[in-house]
Amino acid sequence: MAIKKQNLSDYDKTTVPNAKDFRFGIVVSEWNENITEGLYNGAIEALLDCGAKEENIIRWNVPGSFELPFGAKKMIHTQKVDAVIVIGSVIKGETMHFDFVCGAAAQGIMDLNVKTQTPVIFCVLTDNNMDQAIARSGGSHGNKGTEAAIAAIKMANLGN
Ligand SMILES: Nc1c(NC[C@H](O)[C@H](O)[C@H](O)CO)[nH]c(=O)[nH]c1=O
Ligand SMILES: CC(=O)[C@@H](O)COP(=O)(O)O
């Protein structure tokens, strides 16, 4: 039986630090744009709800999820940001390409978390089909972009 899913958009604002002093980078993949824009909207809404200022949020686009680690690396090295959120949507096709794109993106983003001093939040949906992606980017399971924004604030605040 499927485990009851927690709604990805649920958060208790009283447990989230105020984000007013933090700067955020958001790197967005253009593949499956209908999904990644939904994730981006969820992230922006939560960041602003928790005190972040619009002028402190920098957005860059990259072609696909495979390019997210490079985009995040460049963001870290050229912009003063306290955390980066990478947003992507990978949907399984007929071949193993899905596995390589997802694996490379996840490993590349983990490498940045280990090797740099800037947290990089993994907001990459890896779905079997479009319905699953829709459900997790503002649909019946909430919005992973919201979840990623809260994680970004908490990680930017780590140690404070
Ligand atoms: N099929 C998906 C891709 N594929 C493109 C790759 O991410 C990459 O841009 C290309 O291989 C050139 O390096 N990307 C996604 O984000 N989502 C997909 O479903
Ligand atoms: C995740 C992908 O790259 C995928 O969309 C490509 O589809 P296919 O495996 O059918 O070539």
User: Quick check: CB of 95 below 6 Å from ligand 2?
Assistant: yes
CA of 128 to the centre of ligand 2 (A): 11
Q: What is the pLDDT of residue 1?
A: 44
**Relative to the CA of 98, which ligand 2 atom is closest?**
1
User: Is 141 among the catalytic positions?
Assistant: no
Domain that holds residue 79: 26-157
Instruction: Answer yes or no: is 116 within a domain.
Output: yes
Instruction: Answer yes or no: is 64 within a domain.
Output: yes
Q: What's the CA gap between 56 and 39, in Å, rounded?
A: 19
Instruction: Answer yes or no: is 42 within a domain.
Output: yes
Q: What is the pLDDT of residue 9?
A: 81
Instruction: Answer yes or no: is 100 within a domain.
Output: yes
Residue in 36, 92, 124 to alter for ligand 2 test, most ligand atoms within 8 A of Cβ: 92
Instruction: Answer yes or no: is 14 within a domain.
Output: no
Instruction: Answer yes or no: is 129 within a domain.
Output: yes
Count of domains observed in the chain: 1
Radius of gyration of the chain, Cα coordinates, nearest whole angstrom: 15
Predicted confidence pLDDT, tens digits, the chain (160 residues):
444 667 878 899 999 999 999 999 999 999 999 999 999 999 999 999 999 999 999 999 999 999 999 999 999 999 999 999 999 999 999 999 999 999 999 999 999 999 999 999 999 999 999 999 999 999 999 999 999 999 999 999 999 9
Q: What is the pLDDT of residue 5?
A: 62
- Kindly report the CATH number assigned to the domain that includes residue 63: 3.40.50.960
The phi-psi region of residue 150 (left if phi > 0; otherwise alpha if psi is between -120 and 50; otherwise beta) is alpha
Which ligand minimizes its atom distance to the CA of 89?
Answer: 1
Q: Give me the residue label for tokens 């390409």.
A: 97
